[in-house]
Amino acid sequence: MSTLSANTKRHRVTVVGSGNWGSTIAKVVAENVLEFPNLFESEVQMWVHEEQVTIPKSSPSYDPASELCTKEQPLSALINTVHENVKYLPGIKLPDNLVANPNIADSVKGSTILIFNLPHQFIKKACDGLEGHIVPFARGISCIKGVEVSQKGVRLLSDMIGERLGIYCGALSGANIASEIAQGKWSETTVAYDPPAVDSRHPTPRHSPTTSSTNLGMTPANGEKIKLQALPSDYPPLSHENMKHLFHRPYFHVRIVSDVAGVSLGGALKNIVAIAAGYVDGLGWGDNAKAAVMRVGILEEVKFGQMFFSTVKASTFTSESCGVADVITSCMGGRNFRCAKMATERGVSIAEVEKNELNGQVLQGTTTAKEVNDFLSSQGKEKEFPLFTAVYNILQGKNKPEDIPSLIEVKD
Ligand SMILES: NC(=O)C1=CN([C@@H]2O[C@H](COP(=O)(O)OP(=O)(O)OC[C@H]3O[C@@H](n4cnc5c(N)ncnc54)[C@H](O)[C@@H]3O)[C@@H](O)[C@H]2O)C=CC1
Ligand SMILES: O=C(CO)COP(=O)(O)O
């Protein structure tokens, strides 16, 4: 007779966020939970920041005879009726087992896996709504591309989430233009998931920002402050293998690594690089110019990681999807790239293009450029990151896209 304890419970999954990438990842995991009924509950919850929307005529869900199409509806109700996020992921059929929920506290009720996927500007407010409502032994994965900067230093969003909610939080990031993945076009991604072994009561900090001499030592999520709760034994373990089952699809290939800081920083910092690529492309300077800013940008990503986060591995940036590959795809077709390019061509601000062209989608690169600059200037390190600094100064109107070559040129 088997002595293995039976895993009588199944993991319940909630995706916190329902934008372009939030809805896409929700689709991915909602497909996967059905393939692993011994691991996951079949229903996946998706928290929706509620708003009133109308179904556009271009949507497959548009039916002029239907009352749904004649007046505005709450987005969450529409998603549950037509199984399409008509505003943020139009044209994509979402699985029936994906349930949109406008109540953030209710959406995470009983969930042991929380996937955070919303623009980084909104994550703190979302955590306010989650505090006191989550399962204490839940585990998180942040798909958000950004960092948090405060007077204390720079912090990974996975750490911020983990500390706020008292849970372990890993990260997912890669060369992942959402619309392609939503259409089932093949891509790779990187999941960084490295919870302390057996959830001991005194886990070792894994990816704490370094340099206590510069007072950047913000407590990481997995540091002593957090008393992580062990996953009860009646749940299937949240091993690398089972995490992979949650995200890996035939069209979405997952590699699991341990470098949460490297994965998170690759995703956050490439958005600044993509803006620089948009600037030079918008000037009509061609692919060589774009390759030049990508080269410098990748070097600055690695340098930033190694300067401020003790455990970052340079190989994460070069070998994994979350590094060079994400820089490349973002500088070819990402929104930060496209908006910076359009803004340069039209002679308007990126904010104006974002407002007029993205239909409510939100750029991360403009705020990240400012946050990173705030941090670098507080450390007196702006000159060591000339591309990041150039992008910030162009956004501020202190420089022009045309200045990029001289701003990033290494002077003899
Ligand atoms: N879209 C993409 O191709 C990819 C995006 N990402 C990252 O995923 C994260 C989420 O991005 P997307 O899902 O694309 O978002 P999005 O750009 O589609 O943003 C819109 C979302 O923000 C929500 N929102 C607006 N105001 C809000 C508020 N006050 N509070 C809370 N939510 C509010 C909207 O309801 C909507 O769900 C970002 O960090 C992004 O960098 C990562 C990979 C690919
Ligand atoms: O992160 C992305 C691709 O990996 C998408 O980037 P944008 O937010 O610039 O569209």
- Cα distance between the two ends of the chain: 74
- Is residue 48 domain-resident? yes
Cβ-contact 56, 63 below 8 angstroms: no
Q: Which atom of ligand 1 is nearest to the CA of 364?
A: 41
Residues 235 and 334 in one domain: no
Per-residue pLDDT, 178: 98
DSSP assignment string, 98-148: EEEES-HHHHTTT-SEEEE-S-GGGHHHHHHHHTTTS-TT-EEEE----EE
- Burial of residue 266 (number of CB atoms within 10 Å: 0-12, 13-18, 19+): buried
The count of structural domains within the chain is 2
Q: Do residues 272 and 254 both lie within one domain?
A: no
From ligand 1's centre to the CA of 49, what distance in Å?
10
Could you give the C-alpha distances from 317 to 190, 299, 324, 383, in angstroms and in order?
Answer: 11, 9, 6, 22
Selection from 45, 42, 46, 63 nearest residue 54 by Cα:
63
Where do the DSSP E strands lie in 222-281? 252-257
Last residue of a domain, one of 258, 276, 309: 258
pLDDT digits (tens, 9 = 90+) for 383-408: 999 999 999 999 999 999 999 999 99
Residue 85 and residue 23 in one domain:
yes
373 CB less than 6 Å from ligand 1? no
Query: Are the CB atoms for 349 and 103 separated by under 8 Å?
Result: no
Residue 88 near ligand 1, beta carbon < 6 Å: yes
Q: Is the dihedral of CA 165, 167, 170, 176 positive or negative?
A: negative
Residue 234: φ, ψ to 5°: -85, 0
Domain that holds residue 298: 268-408
Q: What is the pLDDT of residues 300-328, one digit of tens each?
A: 999 999 999 999 999 999 999 999 999 99
251 with 320, same domain?
no
* Distance separating alpha carbons of residues 367 and 161, to the nearest angstrom: 19
- Whether residue 4 is contained in a domain is answered as no
* Same structural domain, 242 and 341: no
Q: Is 143 in the pocket of ligand 1 (CB under 6 A)?
A: yes
In this structure, the answer to whether residues 122 and 96 fall within a common structural domain is yes
Nearest ligand 1 atom to the CA of 146 is 39
Confirm whether 6 is domain-assigned: no
Predicted confidence at residue 99, as pLDDT, reads 98
ipTM: 0.99
**Side chain identity at residue 409, one-letter code:** E
- Tell whether 39 and 174 lie within a shared domain: yes
232 with 295, same domain: the answer is no
Please check whether residue 211 lies inside any domain of the structure: yes
DSSP at 207: S
Q: Are residues 138 and 251 both part of a single domain?
A: yes
Residue 193 shares a structural domain with residue 295? no
Q: Is 5 contained in some domain?
A: no
Pick from 15, 16, 20 the residue to mutate for probing ligand 1's pocket: most ligand atoms within 8 Å of its CB: 20
- 361 is a domain residue: yes
Q: H or E segment at 191? A: strand 187-192
Catalytic, 400? Answer no
Question: Does 57 count as an annotated binding residue?
Answer: no
Q: Whose CA is nearest to atom 24 of ligand 1?
A: 49
What's the alpha-carbon Rg for the chain, to the nearest Å? 21
Asked if residue 312 is part of any domain, the answer here is yes
Q: Is residue 1 part of a domain?
A: no
Domain closes at, from 258, 277, 292: 258
Of the CA atoms within 13 Å of residue 103, those in its CB half-sphere come to 4
Ligand 1 mutation target, pool 362, 364, 366, most atoms within 8 A of CB? 362
Q: What is the CATH number of the domain that holds 381?
A: 1.10.1040.10
**For residue 112, what is the domain's CATH number?**
3.40.50.720
Please list the alpha-helical segments (H only) found in 136-257: 157-165, 178-182, 240-247
Q: Do residue 392 and residue 371 come from a single domain?
A: yes
The 3-state DSSP class for residue 392 equals helix
Instruction: List, in sequence order, every beta strand (DSSP E) within 266-331.
Output: none
Collapsing DSSP states into helix, strand and coil, what is residue 192? strand
Among the candidates 223, 258, 293, a domain finishes at: 258
Domain check: are 175 and 276 in the same one? no
Side chain identity at 117, as an amino acid letter? N
All residue ranges of the chain with pLDDT < 70 are 1-5, 197-225
